[in-house]
Amino acid sequence: MQPVIHARGLHKAYGSTIALDRVDFDLMPGRILGLIGPNGAGKTTLLKAILGLAPAQGELSVLGLNPRKERTKLLEQVSFIADTAILPRWLKVSEALSYLQGVHPRFSRDRAETFLRRTEIRTDSLVRQLSKGMLTQLHLALVMAIDSQLLVLDEPTLGLDILYRKQFYSALLEDYFDENKTILVTTHQVEEIENLLTDVVFIKNGKFCLNMPMEDLHQQFTEVRVTNDRMIPADAPQPIHTRPILGGKAMIFENADRSFLSTLGDIKTPNLADLFVAKIQGGRTDA
């Protein structure tokens, strides 16, 4: 099976600043990958390379195409939702539907209108009359009506309240995603996408510090809730991160013996947000 995205030695520098540091990865069809990193980590640079918006050194193919040289073909099969509104404010919703119907060979107006009927968006409304949440719903309706193989989401729910964020991801799973589609999403709201992901990448300073299927996290990482009287033996396996909790510490270990860790306290697989802090920040925190 051919990867949807195939990258080897992907490198990008802006003067002396390295944005991507020889990145290798494959994203297979039917997966949902979360690309997570702090500001300035290289996420946007990687997305621009994948979408053919900026050149990068190394080997990169998306759906078997060169993103820079075959961008027109690529964009027939790839959809993108950014964190900022991109529709003209003077445009009517109906005009947006008509425009896409006329220019995109894979767009289904019926499907877009079916989704919009579940919202409060009227087709005679102007874009400038829509709230940020409604505008995001409109973007999603337009994208879901395109039979794309790859959907790239860059902070798609930034600035939305929790209700709109829940609705967005629910619609994405129920009305769009299937085994023939692949999703790449970047977000800082790690907790909200954790249960959606099949794969996760942590990126820092242009390098991947974690790249694995979600189902494999429990094999490599363990969190232990250690009471104060067990601190000395708990330090022996060298936790990669420690944070204070009521009555003790929560420690995250990598590739440690779970049978031994279970003697120190209650064990579990760390949630994605805590694991992200452990891998990106490392060490201990009193926060």
State the CB neighbour count (10 A cutoff) for residue 6.
Answer: 17
Q: Name the least confident of 114-118, 199-203, 233-237.
A: 233-237
Q: Is residue 137 part of a domain?
A: yes
- pLDDT at 94 (0 to 100): 95
pTM: 0.88
CA atoms within 13 A on the CB side of 149: 16
- pLDDT at 273 (0 to 100): 93
Same domain assignment for residues 199 and 233: no
Q: Name the least confident of 44-48, 84-88, 98-102, 189-193.
A: 84-88
- Last residue of some domain: 139, 172, 205? 205
Mean pLDDT of 134-142: 88
Same domain assignment for residues 176 and 41: yes
Listing DSSP states for 45-112 in one string gives HHHHHHTTSS--EEEEEETTB-TTTTHHHHHTTEEEE-SS--S-TT-BHHHHHHHHHHH-TTB-HHHH
The number of distinct structural domains making up the chain is 2
CATH of the domain at 63: 3.40.50.300
The parent domain of residue 175 ranges over 5-205
Q: Is residue 23 part of a domain?
A: yes
Same domain assignment for residues 160 and 48: yes
Angle between helices 162-171 and 132-144 (to 10 degrees): 0
Calculate the alpha carbon distances from 64 to 1, 2, 73, 93, 216 in Å.
11, 8, 11, 34, 27
Same domain assignment for residues 105 and 244: no
Q: Are the C-beta atoms of residues 217 and 275 closer than 8 Å to each other?
A: yes
Q: Is residue 257 part of a domain?
A: yes
pLDDT band at 74 (very low <50, low <70, confident <90, very high): very high
- pLDDT at 161 (0 to 100): 83
pLDDT band at 127 (very low <50, low <70, confident <90, very high): very high
pLDDT band at 235 (very low <50, low <70, confident <90, very high): low
Same domain assignment for residues 154 and 48: yes
Mean pLDDT of 241-249: 88
Q: Name the least confident of 82-91, 168-177, 261-270.
A: 82-91
Q: What is the pLDDT of residues 36-54, one digit of tens each?
A: 999 889 999 999 999 999 9
Q: Is residue 210 part of a domain?
A: no
Same domain assignment for residues 266 and 228: yes
List phi, psi (to 5°) of 89.
-70, -25
Q: Is the pLDDT reported for residue 286 higher than 80? A: no
For tokens 């995109």, what's the residue? 104
- pLDDT at 287 (0 to 100): 42
For tokens 């989704």, what's the residue? 115
Same domain assignment for residues 156 and 21: yes
- Last residue of some domain: 171, 205, 239? 205
Same domain assignment for residues 119 and 165: yes
- Last residue of some domain: 205, 229, 257? 205
Same domain assignment for residues 130 and 227: no
Same domain assignment for residues 258 and 167: no
